[in-house]
Structure 1
Amino acid sequence: METGRISGAGHGARRRRSAWVLPLLGANAALLLVLVLQPMPVMLGHFIYDDMFYYLRVAQHIAAGEGSTFDGTAPTNGYHPAWMAISALLALGLSGDGLVRALLLVGAALQIVQGAMLHRLLSRYTRPWVALSHTGFYLFNWRTISANLCGLETPLAVVTVLLVLSLLDRRQQCLGTPAQAAGLGALLGLCVLARMDLLLFSGLVLVWAWSTAILRDGAGAVRATALATVAGLVALAVIAPWIWASLSISGVPLPNSRVAVDLLATVQLDPNESGSLAADVKRQVAWALHLLPDLANFLGLWPSSGPSTMLSILPSVLAAAAVATILVATVRAGRSAPPIAILCVIFVVAHMGYYLIEHRMILRYVLPSLAGFVFLVGLAMERALTAPDAPRRRRRVMQRGLAVLFAVALVSGLDGWRKGHGATRYHAFHPLTLEAATWVSGAHPGAIVGAWNAGILSHFADAVVVNLDGVINDDALAAMQSRDIDAYIQSRGISLLVDVPGQISLNLGRFGGGGEAGPEVARFGREDGREVVVREAQPPS
C-alpha cells in the first residue's frame, strides 16, 4: 500500500501547518544575519572560505569588462557559472566588505529557501512535529550554516536539487506533457549551472523519470522516451551557453578547477598512474576516515569536531551505519514510501559514493544529497510512528532521541566554532592570511604576489595576486602539469610568495624543478602553531 500524504482537515489546516514553520525560519534568518554582520576576521576564522574571493575577484574583472580572469592576465573557467553570474551582478555596484556581505546574504537567503522547501516536502508525508523538528535540525545545524555561509555555490546547488524534488513530488505524472518535460529539463540545466557535479543528479533524474513514466504512470516506452529526450535536450540547451563560453575561455567544456584539485589531492583511482591502485585505495580510505567525522557531527552522532587520532574511526563508522540504515529502511519500505524517496536513495548513494571513491567527501560538497537524506529520515520516523504494532511510548522515545541528536549536533557545532572548523577545518589560517595581506599592502604596495591559497590575499592586499594552484588560473595549471611552476613564477615577475609554510615547500617540490623559495621576510602565527609566511620568490635553480 502506498503512503498517502498527510491531508489534514482541508486548506485551512494545511495553511496552519505551513504557518508553524514561519517562526522557525524567522529565527534562523536572524541567526544568519547576526553571523553575516560579524567583523571580517571573525567570519574568516569560522565560516568564510578562501575560495569565495576567487569568485569575487573574477566577478570584479567580468563586471569591469576585463573578461574571465583572476589576476587580470591569465584566463580561467574554474568556477560554477550560476554562482559567478550572481557574484558578477553584485560586483557591478558593490566592492570591498559590502560585496562580501552581500554575497553572504544571498547564501543566507538561499538557506531559508532550503528550509521552507524541505519543510514543505516533509509536511506532505509526516505529521507537523516531525516536519518541524527535522527542518529545525537541518537549519540550525552548524554544518549546514557554515556550508551555506562559506561564500561558495553550495546554497544554490541545494536549492536547485530541492526544486527538482518538489516538482517531481507534486506531479501526478512524472514527465506529463511535452511542456512539463521541457520545464523539468530547464530545472535540470539550472542544477548543472549551479554546480557541475549535479550532472550526476540530472542524469539520475532523467533515467528515474523515464522508468517511472513507464512503470508507474502507464506511459508507453515510446512516449516516455520522447518526453525524456525533450527534457534532456532542453537541459542541454540551458547548459550550452556555458559550454560555449568555457570552450572560448579555456578550450574545455568543464571547469579546469576539477583538474587542479585532482592534481593537488592526488585522489584519482587510476591503475595507470605512477602510484599503485592499492596505494590510491589506501589514500581514499584515509581521506574518508579523516572527513566522515564531519558527517557524524552533522547527524548528531559525535560531539567533537574533527578527527581525534584513533577515535576518528568510531564517528566514521557511526555516520556510515546511520546513512546505510536509513537507505536500507527506505528501500525495504517499497511502495509505502513516496516515489521520490527512491530517487533520493539513489542520489545519496551515487553522490556520496562519488566523493568517497573519486574525490574527498567534504560536507559542503554533499550538502545537496544530505538535504535529501534528512527528508528520508523524516519519512522513516513517520513510518515507525504509524506502524500498526507501534507502542504508545514510541513517540515520546523518538522525540527524546531527536532532542539528544540535536544537543550533540549543537555541542559539535560549538566545538567546531572554537576550533575554527566550518566549511573547512582550516579557517584558523584565514585571519593570518588577512594579516599578511595588510602587511603586503603596507610594505610592498603594488607587488606581484603568488599564493596557492590566493583568495583572501586578492581581495585585501594592495597587490597583483597570482593563483599558483591552477584552480582559478589556466596558465598555472599548465605549469603544474608540466612540473614547471618555478619557471612560471619567474616568468610572471612574482616577487613574493605568501602561504602556509608547508604549502610553499611542498608545491614547489611537487610541481617545480625542486628549487626552494627565497628567504622569509614576514611571519604571522598563532599560539597553536598555525602560521602564514611571506617569502621572497626565487628563480628556478
Structure 2
Amino acid sequence: MNRNRTSLGLAAAFAIMATCRIMLIFFGRLEAGLVADDTYYYFTIAKNLAAGNGPTFDGLAPTNGFHPLWQLYMVPFFINAGDLWSPVRTILASTIILDGISGLLVHRIVGRFAGGGYALTAAALWWLTPFGFFLGMQGMEASLSTLLVLGALERGCAANASLRSAAGVGVVLGLGGLARTDNLLSVSLAMAVLVFATKSLWPSIESRLRWLGVAAALALAVMAPWFIWSWRQFGSVVQVSARVKLYSEDVYGALHTSWGSVSESTETIVFALFPAAATAVRALTGDEFREPTWSILITAVILLSAVPLLIWSLRRTLAKRTELRAPILFVLTYMLLHTALFGLIGRTYATWYALPFFGLTTVLVGWLAPAWRRATGTGLIFVRAGVVLWLAALLAIYPLYALRFPHGDQRPDDRFAPHFERVQELLPAGAVVGAWDAGVAGYVATDYETITVTNLDCLVNNVAFEAVRGGRYRQYLLQTVDLYLQDQARARMFLDAREVQLLKDGDAGP
C-alpha cells in the first residue's frame, strides 16, 4: 500500500478513536460508570504519593496493592491538582496516547510479515472495535501493560543474536512486569519460546540460553527494587490484591465455579477457557451485575465464529509461512499462559485484564488475514461467514453499551456528599469509615479533612489481610472502623455467620 495512503488511513482511524474518547472523557459521565472502582485506589494512592504521604490508600498504613509502573505514572498528574476530577480526566485522556502507540506497534508488527493493507486494517481494528476502545478508559493499568506486551513482541521480532539486543529486550520485559506483575512470567516465557523457535539466529542451545540469560537478568534488575521493597515491607513480593483474590472467592473478579445445571456448567467452562472474551463482553454489554442476556449470545457468536476460523487459518499460515512460526508461538504461548493463570488456576478475572490479550489477538488477525483473503477468493463460504459474524458481534457491543451499561446519573462526589456530611455531624472530631468497595468513596473522602475511608476487602489493605490470615479480622474491624458505608454483612467474605453477628453486636471477644 502507498505510504501516504497508509499514513492517512492510520491518522483517520486514530482521529476517530481519539475524538470519540475525548468526548466521552470530558463531556460524558465516565467517572460515574465505565471507570472501575479499583481505579480510584490508584487515584487515591497517587494523590497521597504526590502529597508526600507514601504508598497508602487510607493514610493509616502503606500498601503494595498496585502495579508500580502504572501507579508512578499517575503521580505527576496529582501534583498541584486543583480539584478531584481534572487529574482523573487528564489521566484517562493520556490513555488515548498509550493506546495510540499500541496501535502503531500493531501496525509495525503486522506489517513486518504482511502487507501494508493488513497492517492498517489491524491497527484500525485495535482502535475502533469495542475492546480496544473501551477497556483502556477504565483507568486501570491495561493500556500501559498492553503497550509493553506489544513492545516486547516487536522487540522479539526485531531481535538479533547480540547480547545488546538481549539487554534491550530484558529492559522491556522488566518494564512490562512493573506495569503488570504477571507479565514477567507470561511474556518472558513467550519470549523464550520465540527464541527457541528461531533457529536461524541462535544455532545452538547454548547461544539461546546465553541470550535469554542476559534478557532475564536485565528484566529482574528492573523489577528488583519493587520486589525488595515489597518483601521488606510486607514479607511477600506478591501484591496484597492478588493474595486476597486467591484467598477468597467473594472478592471482585472471582470466577465462581458451579456445576449445578447445564447452563451453570457451561458458564463455568466458558469463563475458565475463554475468560478474556467472556468477561469483557459481559461487562461492556451491561450484564456484569445483572442476569446475563445479550452477553451470552455475543460471546457465543464470537467464539463459534472466531475459534474455528483461527484454527483453520493457523494451520494454513504455518504450513506456508515458516517465518511466522516463532512470532505466532509467542502470541499463542502468552494466550495459553494468560488463560491458565487467570481462568484455570487463579479463577479470577477483571474486565481490563483482557486488553493485552485483545492486542495480541489483533496482531494475530493481521497475520492470518492473507489466508482468509486467499480462501475468500476461492469462494470458501465458512471463511466469509466467520469474518462477518465475528465483526458483527464485536460491533453489536456499541449499541448495547450505550443502552444497557450502568452509566450512572450522579458524579461520585455528589453521590457520597450526603453520607460524608452525616459522618461529620456524628463524629466531628474525625472518623475512619470502612467500605468493602472503597475506591470511589476513598477518593472522594480526600476532600474531607476529618474523614478517612479504609478498604475492608483487603485489595489495598495489607494490615486487614494479615488480620484475616491470623483469624483477627473481626477484632481488626472493631478496633479500626468507626462507621460503615455498607452493610456489615459484607464481612462474610472472611467471617462465618456467627462472627458476622458478633461484629454487628460489637463483641470483640474470641
For normalisation by structure 2, the TM-score amounts to 0.83
Give the match for residue 24 of structure 2.
35
Classify the secondary structure of the residue corresponding to 2:453. strand
Give the match for residue 418 of structure 2.
439
Give the match for residue 120 of structure 1.
108
Give the match for residue 86 of structure 2.
98
Q: Is the 8 A contact 2:48 2:56 kept in 1?
A: yes
Give the match for residue 216 of structure 1.
200
Choose which of 492, 496, 506 in structure 2 pairs with 1:506: 492
CA distance in 2, matches of 1:105, 1:495: 37
Give the match for residue 187 of structure 1.
172
Report the AA paired with residue 470 of structure 2.
S
Q: Is the 8 A contact 1:68 1:75 kept in 2?
A: yes
Classify the secondary structure of the residue corresponding to 2:484. strand
Shift of 1:178: 0.9
Classify the secondary structure of the residue corresponding to 1:152. coil
Shift of 1:26: 1.1
Q: Is the 8 A contact 1:508 1:516 kept in 2?
A: no
Shift of 1:278: 8.7
Give the match for residue 362 of structure 2.
374
Q: Deviations over 1:374-433 (max 9, x none)?
A: 22123222112235xx536679984x8756644432332321343326xxxxx76x9596
Verify: 1:360 aligned to 2:342, yes or no.
no
CA distance in 2, matches of 1:71, 1:99: 19
Q: Which moved more, 1:117-126 or 1:63-72?
A: 117-126
Give the match for residue 295 of structure 1.
277
Choose which of 212, 223, 236 in structure 1 pairs with 2:220: 236
CA distance in 2, matches of 1:351, 1:465: 33
Q: Residues 97-176 of structure 1 correspond to what in structure 2 (within 5 A)?
A: 97-171=85-159, 173=160, 176=161
Classify the secondary structure of the residue corresponding to 1:466. strand
Give unmatched runs, 5+ long, in structure 2.
425-429
Report the AA paired with residue 104 of structure 2.
A
Verify: 1:449 aligned to 2:433, yes or no.
yes
Verify: 1:225 aligned to 2:209, yes or no.
yes
Give the match for residue 186 of structure 2.
201
Report the AA paired with residue 21 of structure 1.
L
What count of residue pairs does the alignment treat as equivalent?
485
Report the AA paired with residue 262 of structure 1.
L
Q: Is the 8 A contact 2:434 2:456 kept in 1?
A: yes
Give the match for residue 63 of structure 2.
76
Classify the secondary structure of the residue corresponding to 1:37. helix
Classify the secondary structure of the residue corresponding to 2:501. coil
CA distance in 2, matches of 1:374, 1:299: 16
Q: Is the 8 A contact 1:289 1:316 kept in 2?
A: no
Q: Is the 8 A contact 2:190 2:329 kept in 1?
A: no
Q: Is the 8 A contact 1:71 1:464 kept in 2?
A: yes
Q: Residues 384-403 of structure 1 correspond to what in structure 2 (within 5 A)?
A: 384-386=372-374, 391=377, 398=384
Q: Is the 8 A contact 1:385 1:394 kept in 2?
A: no
Shift of 1:327: 4.5
CA distance in 2, matches of 1:420, 1:311: 12
More helix by share: 2
Shift of 1:330: 1.7
Classify the secondary structure of the residue corresponding to 1:513. helix
Give unmatched runs, 5+ long, in structure 1.
1-7, 268-274, 422-426, 519-536
Shift of 1:293: 8.8
Report the AA paired with residue 243 of structure 2.
V
Report the AA paired with residue 49 of structure 1.
A
CA distance in 2, matches of 1:507, 1:299: 26
CA distance in 1, matches of 2:470, 2:250: 16
Choose which of 245, 265, 273 in structure 2 pairs with 1:261: 245
Give the match for residue 424 of structure 1.
none
Q: Is the 8 A contact 1:289 1:313 kept in 2?
A: no
Q: Is the 8 A contact 1:385 1:395 kept in 2?
A: no
Shift of 1:212: 3.1
Shift of 1:181: 0.6
Give the match for residue 427 of structure 2.
none
Shift of 1:474: 0.5
Q: Which moved more, 1:449-458 or 1:316-325?
A: 316-325
Q: Which moved more, 1:71-80 or 1:310-319?
A: 310-319
CA distance in 1, matches of 2:270, 2:411: 28
Classify the secondary structure of the residue corresponding to 2:485. strand
CA distance in 2, matches of 1:434, 1:512: 35
Give the match for residue 346 of structure 1.
333
Report the AA paired with residue 197 of structure 2.
T
Q: Is the 8 A contact 2:276 2:354 kept in 1?
A: no
Shift of 1:203: 2.6
Give the match for residue 466 of structure 1.
454
Classify the secondary structure of the residue corresponding to 2:434. strand
CA distance in 1, matches of 2:383, 2:259: 45
Report the AA paired with residue 19 of structure 1.
L
Classify the secondary structure of the residue corresponding to 1:449. strand
Q: Which moved more, 1:463-472 or 1:478-487?
A: 478-487
CA gap 1:246/1:344 in 2 versus in 1, 3 angstroms: same
CA distance in 1, matches of 2:457, 2:412: 16
Give the match for residue 481 of structure 1.
469
CA distance in 1, matches of 2:444, 2:62: 21
Verify: 1:410 aligned to 2:392, yes or no.
no
CA distance in 1, matches of 2:131, 2:257: 35
Q: Which moved more, 1:54-63 or 1:435-444?
A: 435-444
Q: Is the 8 A contact 1:45 1:431 kept in 2?
A: yes
CA distance in 2, matches of 1:229, 1:246: 24
Shift of 1:257: 0.9
CA distance in 2, matches of 1:395, 1:126: 23
Q: Deviations over 1:229-272 (max 9, x none)?
A: 111101111111111221233221121110112223269xxxxx
Identity of aligned residues (%): 22
Q: Is the 8 A contact 2:35 2:137 kept in 1?
A: yes
Shift of 1:165: 1.3
Q: Is the 8 A contact 1:508 1:514 kept in 2?
A: no
CA gap 1:324/1:452 in 2 versus in 1, 3 angstroms: farther
Report the AA paired with residue 400 of structure 2.
D
Shift of 1:310: 8.4
Pairwise CA RMSD: 3.6
Q: Is the 8 A contact 1:45 1:420 kept in 2?
A: no
Report the AA paired with residue 168 of structure 2.
G
